[in-house]
Amino acid sequence: MRGIVAALRTRAWMLLLCAGLSLSAAASAQTQGTSDSSAARREAARAAANVKFIRRVTGTLYRVQYGAGEGYQQMVYVTPAGIILTDTNSTADAEWLKGQLAQRFPGQPVRYIIMSHYHFDHALGTQVFPQAKVVSSDETVRKLRSLNLRYAPPPGNSIDINGDNRFSRSEARNFLVPQFDQFDTNKDGYVDAAELNAGIHVPDVTFTGRMTLQLGGHRVELIERPGRSGGVGGMVDSYFPDEKVLFLNDYLPPHRVYPGWANFDHAPLDEWIAAIDQLQSLDFLMYVSSHWDDGTKQDLVDLGSFYRALQAAVRQGIAAGKSEQELERTVKLDAYADWADYGSNLAANVASAYNLETLYRDCASMGIAVPASKPGPGVTHAAVCYSGLH
């Protein structure tokens, strides 16, 4: 327990340190004029983004932090028989980590890499550890092999507006924008699924539902997120029962109104709520999120309550005949006004919840396994069942 409390404090201290460096750099530059101040802020932001460190969480379980704030995190589990990693994020990050592990844990090879999901910002870099077995869900494999951008959309808000199963530069959003030229390997001005997935190792070991990974007398419980929809379909969270630590990916920052990326990654809120409910049943003291802050079980309960309140408010507004724009203006959820990014992200969450209620169908309740047809040209958000778009 002391180790976990210390880990939470260390994480908070590092984030405050990064913020402090940024503020002090900007403050000292103010005396030299506006242009110098702007340059200092940019330099401080670049420095914070390049922060990399490894810290012990508890026992032989470590966290790896790449960048401050949203950044990226992964876990390193050291056992007598080798190391288990969660995700690799990118080739550059994986190469840096490989060097660090060789220095800190000489003679300890990486035996397993748990691939949380197929998104390139989590799945690239596995080739840096060629001896390791990559483990993920069966759904992750289906998404990697489908090459269908509507069934397996990339991270962020990039949308194949004209239905040609590729992204033009004007369709690219968020994470894809700064990396567009890198992914456009044939230089035709477009990025398709094959280019996005190039370099991602298709998992060697797969499962559906739950799986126990054992190595050197230690175990990790792999838990597939309920539902198969959108970019979070088939997501794998990692539970370290001996340490009472949970590692969660992408979608569960504590006490923070997270951006409602692409209509909550094209997945119904019912699936998000089911995922949170499933995780609450586990015996853990803290969770580490792949982005932002660490949390406790109560933080997870609070996040589930937020999504339920958001869904209820939007459904009530739709029943009253309100438009998306009206709901963005009127849904306030005041109980969460003190959460981080409430002011900047609540309206986007309302809009995404509205789209989920009006543009998607619940295949399971309708008894539909495969949609009648795939989305046609010009369909921005397909009102079809994603499970059939292989």
What whole-number distance in Å separates Cα of residue 195 and Cα of residue 144?
11
Sequence-ordered alpha helix ranges (H) in 150-189: 180-183
Residue 202 CA from chain centroid, whole number = 19
What whole-number distance in Å separates Cα of residue 305 and Cα of residue 302?
5
What whole-number distance in Å separates Cα of residue 74 and Cα of residue 85?
7
Pairing relationship of beta strands 205-207 and 190-191 according to DSSP bridges: unpaired
Pairing relationship of beta strands 245-248 and 61-66 according to DSSP bridges: unpaired
Q: 254, 221, 222, 216: which is closest to 235 by C-alpha?
A: 222
Pairing relationship of beta strands 236-240 and 167-168 according to DSSP bridges: unpaired
What whole-number distance in Å separates Cα of residue 181 and Cα of residue 176?
9
Q: What is the pLDDT along the chain (390 residues), one digit of tens a residue?
A: 555 655 554 455 444 444 444 434 443 444 455 456 666 665 655 555 578 889 999 999 999 988 766 678 899 999 999 999 999 988 999 999 999 999 999 999 999 999 999 998 899 999 999 999 999 999 899 889 888 887 788 888 787 888 788 999 999 988 899 999 999 999 999 999 999 998 899 999 999 999 999 999 999 999 998 876 777 888 999 999 999 999 998 767 889 998 877 788 878 888 889 999 999 999 999 999 887 788 999 999 999 999 999 999 999 999 999 999 999 999 999 999 999 999 999 999 999 999 888 765 444 443 433 334 444 333 333 334 443 333
SS3 content of the chain, % helix, strand, coil (to 5): 40, 20, 40
Q: Which amino acid is at 243?
A: E
* Residue 298, Cβ density class (10 Å: 0-12 exposed, 13-18 middle, ≥19 buried): exposed
Q: What angle do CA 150, 122, 91 make, to 5 degrees?
A: 120
What whole-number distance in Å separates Cα of residue 38 and Cα of residue 30?
9
What whole-number distance in Å separates Cα of residue 7 and Cα of residue 10?
5
DSSP-assigned beta bridge partners for residue 113 = 85, 134
Cβ atoms within 10 Å, residue 170? 7
Would you give the end-to-end CA distance of the chain in angstroms?
45
Specify the pLDDT at position 288: 92
What whole-number distance in Å separates Cα of residue 302 and Cα of residue 276?
10
What whole-number distance in Å separates Cα of residue 37 and Cα of residue 12?
26
* Per-residue 3-state assignment (H helix, E strand, C coil) for 298-333: HHHHHHHHHHHHHHHHHHHHHHCCCCHHHHHHHCCC
Contact 101, 74 (CB under 8 A): no
Specify the pLDDT at position 233: 82
The answer to whether the pTM exceeds 0.75 is: yes
E strand intervals along the chain: 52-58, 61-66, 72-79, 82-86, 110-114, 133-137, 167-168, 190-191, 205-207, 210-215, 218-224, 236-240, 245-248, 286-289
